[in-house]
Structure 1
Amino acid sequence: MGFAFREFVVLIGLLSVLASATPAVNAGQASDDANAHKDPCAAIGGKTWVAPKDVRACYKSVKVDPKIKSNIIEVVNKTLAFHISTNYQIKAPAPFQYDVHEDLMADVAKISHTNYASEYDFHIALSRAVARLDDAMFMNYVPLPLNLLVDSQGKQDVYIAKEAFSIASAEFGDQISFWQNALPGKLKGQLASLSGAKIIAINGRPPFDSVNANAAISGSYEGLGTRQSAYFSSYRRTPRGWNYVLGKFAEQGLPLDDQVTLTILRTNQTRPDVVTIPYRSKLGLNSVPFNDTSSWRDGNCVALPDTNGRDYYAPPLSKDPSSVSPVQKFQQQPHLTPSKQQHHLDVILDNSPPTDFALPQELTPSLPLLDGSWGVTQFYMLEDGKTGVMVLGSFEDGEYESFLDNMLEGLTNLKQQNATRLIVDMTNNGGGWTCAAAYLHRIISGPKSTVEPQAILDTKTRAGPLAKLLVKAAISGIDPDHAMMYNPHGRTNANNTPFAADEDWLKNTVDLTINGRKDSFSQRLGRECTSYDYPTQPPDEALFDGKQVAIVSNGRCASSCALFQVVMAKREGSKTVVVGGKQDITQQYCGTVGGQSTDFSGIDSEIKVCLFFARYTSLLVNGVLGVTWRLAFGVENTQEPEEWQSHPADLNLLLTPQLVNNPVAIWKEVASRVFN
Structure 2
Amino acid sequence: MLATSLVALAVLVPALTNAAAVVPRADPCAAIANQAFSVPSKALACLKSFPFNETLRQNVIANIAGVFDFYTFEDFYLDSPPPFQESTANIRAEIARINSTKFETDYDFNRAVYNFTTKLNDGHTRWFPNCYTSFQNLLPAPVVTLEENGVQSVFVAPDSTDLIPLVGTEFTDFFESIGFDWQRLAGARVLEIAGMDAYSYADLIASTESGNYLDHGVRVNSVFSSYRIVDTDFSQRFGDIGGPAFPDRDSLTFKLIPVNSTKAEVVTVPYLADYLGAPFTDQASFWTANCAANDETNGVDLKAAENQRKRQLPRRKMARASIIDIAPSNAVGLPSPFLPTLPPANGSTGVIKSFILPSKKTGVMFVGSFEGDFNQFQTDTDAAIKQFQASGLTHLLIDLTNNGGGFVCLGQFLHQYLAGNTLSVSLISSQWLTLYRL
Residues 139-178 of structure 1 correspond to what in structure 2 (within 5 A)?
139-152=136-149, 154-178=150-174
**Which of 287, 293, 301 pairs up with 1:303?**
293
Classify 1:343/1:268 alpha carbon distance in 2 versus 1 (closer, same or farther; 3 Å): same
Does 2:279 match 1:289?
Answer: yes
Classify 1:81/1:310 alpha carbon distance in 2 versus 1 (closer, same or farther; 3 Å): farther
Can you list the C-alpha shifts for 1:472-505, whole angstroms capped at 9, x where unaligned?
Answer: xxxxxxxxxxxxxxxxxxxxxxxxxxxxxxxxxx
Amino acid of the structure 1 residue aligned with 2:108: D
Distance in 2 (CA, whole Å) between partners of 1:40 and 1:434 is 44
Distance in 2 (CA, whole Å) between partners of 1:310 and 1:227 is 40
- Alignment gaps of 5+ in structure 1: 1-6, 26-33, 317-338, 449-545, 547-570, 577-588, 592-648, 652-669
> What displacement does 1:199 show?
1.2
> What displacement does 1:343 show?
2.3
- Kindly indicate whether the alpha-carbon contact (under 8 Å) linking 1:238 and 1:375 is maintained by their aligned counterparts in 2: no
> What displacement does 1:420 show?
2.5
Distance in 1 (CA, whole Å) between partners of 2:393 and 2:368 is 21
Which residue number in structure 2 is paired with residue 330 of structure 1? Answer: none
Can you list the C-alpha shifts for 1:617-666, whole angstroms capped at 9, x where unaligned?
Answer: xxxxxxxxxxxxxxxxxxxxxxxxxxxxxxxx7x8xxxxxxxxxxxxxxx
Does 2:376 match 1:386?
Answer: no
**Which of 37, 47, 66 pairs up with 1:49?**
37
- Kindly indicate whether the alpha-carbon contact (under 8 Å) linking 1:255 and 1:281 is maintained by their aligned counterparts in 2: yes
Percent of pairs with identical residues? 27
Which residue number in structure 2 is paired with residue 194 of structure 1? Answer: 185
Amino acid of the structure 2 residue aligned with 1:428: N
Distance in 2 (CA, whole Å) between partners of 1:125 and 1:291 is 27
Classify 1:267/1:86 alpha carbon distance in 2 versus 1 (closer, same or farther; 3 Å): same
What TM-score, normalized to structure 1? 0.57
**Which of 82, 85, 108 pairs up with 2:73?**
85
- Kindly indicate whether the alpha-carbon contact (under 8 Å) linking 1:377 and 1:407 is maintained by their aligned counterparts in 2: yes
> What displacement does 1:386 show?
2.3
- Kindly indicate whether the alpha-carbon contact (under 8 Å) linking 1:377 and 1:392 is maintained by their aligned counterparts in 2: yes
Which residue number in structure 2 is paired with residue 220 of structure 1? Answer: 212
- Kindly indicate whether the alpha-carbon contact (under 8 Å) linking 2:202 and 2:223 is maintained by their aligned counterparts in 1: yes
Does 2:115 match 1:119?
Answer: no
Greater displacement, 213-222 / 227-236: 213-222
> What displacement does 1:143 show?
0.8
Q: Which has the higher helix share?
A: 2
Distance in 2 (CA, whole Å) between partners of 1:58 and 1:66 is 20
Partner SS, residue 150 of structure 1? strand
Amino acid of the structure 2 residue aligned with 1:357: V
> What displacement does 1:13 show?
8.3
Distance in 2 (CA, whole Å) between partners of 1:52 and 1:79 is 33
Classify 1:290/1:575 alpha carbon distance in 2 versus 1 (closer, same or farther; 3 Å): closer
> What displacement does 1:443 show?
2.5
Can you list the C-alpha shifts for 1:220-248, whole angstroms capped at 9, x where unaligned?
Answer: 11122222222111111233411101101
Classify 1:191/1:23 alpha carbon distance in 2 versus 1 (closer, same or farther; 3 Å): closer
**Which of 361, 382, 385 pairs up with 1:411?**
385
Does 2:349 match 1:349?
Answer: no
Distance in 2 (CA, whole Å) between partners of 1:437 and 1:156 is 32
Partner SS, residue 315 of structure 1? helix
Distance in 2 (CA, whole Å) between partners of 1:18 and 1:274 is 48
Can you list the C-alpha shifts for 1:162-211, whole angstroms capped at 9, x where unaligned?
Answer: 0112211121322213224545xxxx5x4211100011222333223422
Distance in 1 (CA, whole Å) between partners of 2:301 and 2:342 is 47
- Kindly indicate whether the alpha-carbon contact (under 8 Å) linking 1:204 and 1:261 is maintained by their aligned counterparts in 2: yes
Distance in 2 (CA, whole Å) between partners of 1:112 and 1:130 is 14
Which residue number in structure 1 is paired with residue 13 of structure 2? Answer: 20
Which residue number in structure 1 is paired with residue 417 of structure 2? Answer: 443
Residues 312-331 of structure 1 correspond to what in structure 2 (within 5 A)?
313-315=306-308
Classify 1:210/1:269 alpha carbon distance in 2 versus 1 (closer, same or farther; 3 Å): same
Which structure has the larger Rg over C-alpha atoms?
Answer: 1
Partner SS, residue 140 of structure 1? strand
Classify 1:181/1:206 alpha carbon distance in 2 versus 1 (closer, same or farther; 3 Å): farther
- Kindly indicate whether the alpha-carbon contact (under 8 Å) linking 1:162 and 1:195 is maintained by their aligned counterparts in 2: yes
Classify 1:370/1:353 alpha carbon distance in 2 versus 1 (closer, same or farther; 3 Å): closer
Amino acid of the structure 2 residue aligned with 1:178: F
Distance in 2 (CA, whole Å) between partners of 1:18 and 1:280 is 32
- Kindly indicate whether the alpha-carbon contact (under 8 Å) linking 1:11 and 1:130 is maintained by their aligned counterparts in 2: no
- Kindly indicate whether the alpha-carbon contact (under 8 Å) linking 1:394 and 1:430 is maintained by their aligned counterparts in 2: yes
Which residue number in structure 2 is paired with residue 252 of structure 1? Answer: 244
Can you list the C-alpha shifts for 1:251-304, whole angstroms capped at 9, x where unaligned?
Answer: 0111111112222110111222222221111111xx211111211121112334
> What displacement does 1:416 show?
1.8
Residues 2-21 of structure 1 correspond to what in structure 2 (within 5 A)?
11=6, 20-21=13-14
Distance in 2 (CA, whole Å) between partners of 1:273 and 1:248 is 23
Partner SS, residue 53 of structure 1? helix
- Kindly indicate whether the alpha-carbon contact (under 8 Å) linking 1:379 and 1:391 is maintained by their aligned counterparts in 2: yes
Distance in 2 (CA, whole Å) between partners of 1:436 and 1:66 is 43
Can you list the C-alpha shifts for 1:368-411, whole angstroms capped at 9, x where unaligned?
Answer: 1122221211221112222122121011213x223322222222
Distance in 1 (CA, whole Å) between partners of 2:3 and 2:96 is 18
Which residue number in structure 2 is paired with residue 472 of structure 1? Answer: none
Distance in 1 (CA, whole Å) between partners of 2:44 and 2:222 is 24
What TM-score, normalized to structure 2? 0.86
Which residue number in structure 2 is paired with residue 487 of structure 1? Answer: none
Distance in 1 (CA, whole Å) between partners of 2:14 and 2:327 is 28
Amino acid of the structure 1 residue aligned with 2:159: E
Amino acid of the structure 2 residue aligned with 1:71: N
Which residue number in structure 1 is paired with residue 123 of structure 2? Answer: none
Distance in 2 (CA, whole Å) between partners of 1:341 and 1:202 is 50
Residues 35-46 of structure 1 correspond to what in structure 2 (within 5 A)?
37-46=25-34
Partner SS, residue 240 of structure 2? coil
Classify 1:12/1:46 alpha carbon distance in 2 versus 1 (closer, same or farther; 3 Å): farther
Classify 1:10/1:140 alpha carbon distance in 2 versus 1 (closer, same or farther; 3 Å): farther
- Kindly indicate whether the alpha-carbon contact (under 8 Å) linking 2:230 and 2:328 is maintained by their aligned counterparts in 1: no
Greater displacement, 143-152 / 269-278: 269-278
- Kindly indicate whether the alpha-carbon contact (under 8 Å) linking 2:257 and 2:264 is maintained by their aligned counterparts in 1: yes
Distance in 2 (CA, whole Å) between partners of 1:92 and 1:9 is 20
Classify 1:247/1:125 alpha carbon distance in 2 versus 1 (closer, same or farther; 3 Å): same
